[in-house]
Structure formats: structure tokens, C-alpha cells
Amino acid sequence: MTMSYEVAVLVGSLRDGSYNRALIEAMIALAPEGMNFRFVEIGDLPFYNPDLEGEGVPAAWTRFRGEMADVDAVLFATPEYNRSVPAVVKNALDVGSRPYGESVWGGKPAAIVTASMGATGGFGANHHLRQSLVFLDMPTMQQPEAYVGKVQDILTDGGVVEGSREFLAGFMARFAAWVQTHKG
């Protein structure tokens, strides 16, 4: 990779000790050079309400939109809640897509990592999120897919267990190439 890219990381789990956050931190450590990752807070965003646009725009919306406008790509890490994404992720998408015509998402390449303690690894959330990203004009990496089941078994104090390290490093290498293809 010859260029440097700013990548926003949005984590759909707000809890202390989040497996999704721990997993994405481990994956960032495996990423190739040229990718600058920064976590963007989404837990403090008031629910989107168009009545708040104008003079009463919440400061958290302004901060979020400004941070997202300055990035080249987005990496999502989220659990699955009820076969979909957590409300905090959907709300971030809504806040960033408004006001109409001023979306911060358009053209930004994206990738999705979903993880769960169960066997399916957040499959439903991953695919549900993809539907929204298509509408938001975010070219989303299709392969490899990252549904990390039994995530608690692959996390270690030093990152991830050896058997998963290769897959996750490969995912990050492909994401870097994906971003370069769409932003280079």
C-alpha cells in the first residue's frame, strides 16, 4: 500500500468489555501499514429526529458528522441484536445521512465485522447492515466475509489465537486493498 487512508471504526456494542471492540482492536493491530484507524463515538448520539435540524442540532450530531466527513473509509464492528444491528448503529447511519443531500457516507468504502458468543457470528446483523450501506452508496467489501462466532474463544491478552490470526490479517489486507481500489 503506497497511500495513507483515514478509517473510521464504528463499534455497535457499548458495553465495557465488549467482545466486538476487543476483536476489532486486535484486527487493527494486524492491518497493513497505510491504514490510520480512529474510533468514532456513536453511543452519545441522540436518536435522529428531523425536528432537531436547524438551530437546535445536538452537539453530538455536529461532532459525529464532522468526524465522518474527514475519513476515507469505514470499518463496522457490531454484535447482532434480534437478527439485526443494534439501534446505536442504525441511529449513526441515520444521523450521518441527514439533512437530505448532505450525507457523510456517499462513496466511502466499508467493511463489516460481526461477532457473537454464539455460533452464527452475527450473520443477520452483517447482512442487515449491508442493506443500509447499499442505499447510502457505500461500496461494501463482499469477500472475505467476517462472521466471528464464539468470539470469546479466540480472544487472548495478546490479540487473537493463532488459528484465527491468519484469517483476520487476511481480512484486513483485503480491506486495505478495497479502500485503495475505491479511494486510490
Residue 14, C-alpha cell as written in the block: 457499548
> What is the rounded distance in angstroms from the CA atom of residue 12 to the CA atom of residue 81?
10
pLDDT in tens, 112-162: 999 999 988 899 999 999 999 999 999 999 999 999 999 999 999 888 888
- Binned at pLDDT 50, 70 and 90, residue 81 comes out as very high
Q: Give the mean pLDDT of 75-96.
A: 96
pLDDT in tens, 30-67: 999 999 999 999 999 999 999 999 888 999 999 999 99
In this structure, what DSSP letter does residue 24 have? Answer: H
Strand partners, 74: 8, 110
**Closest alpha carbon to 172 in 20, 72, 68, 34:** 34
Contact 94, 52 (CB under 8 A): no
Contact 35, 6 (CB under 8 A): no
Q: Amino acid identity of 20?
A: N
Higher pLDDT, 92 or 157: 92
Radius of gyration of the chain (CA): 16
**What's 85's domain CATH number?**
3.40.50.360
Contact 64, 93 (CB under 8 A): no
Residue 178 has pLDDT above 60, yes or no: yes
Residue 134, C-alpha cell as written in the block: 447499499
- How many domains are contained in the chain? 1
- Binned at pLDDT 50, 70 and 90, residue 74 comes out as very high
- Binned at pLDDT 50, 70 and 90, residue 98 comes out as very high
> Cα dist. 39→36, 74, 101, 124, 164 in Å?
10, 10, 25, 23, 23
Q: Which domain holds residue 35?
A: 5-183
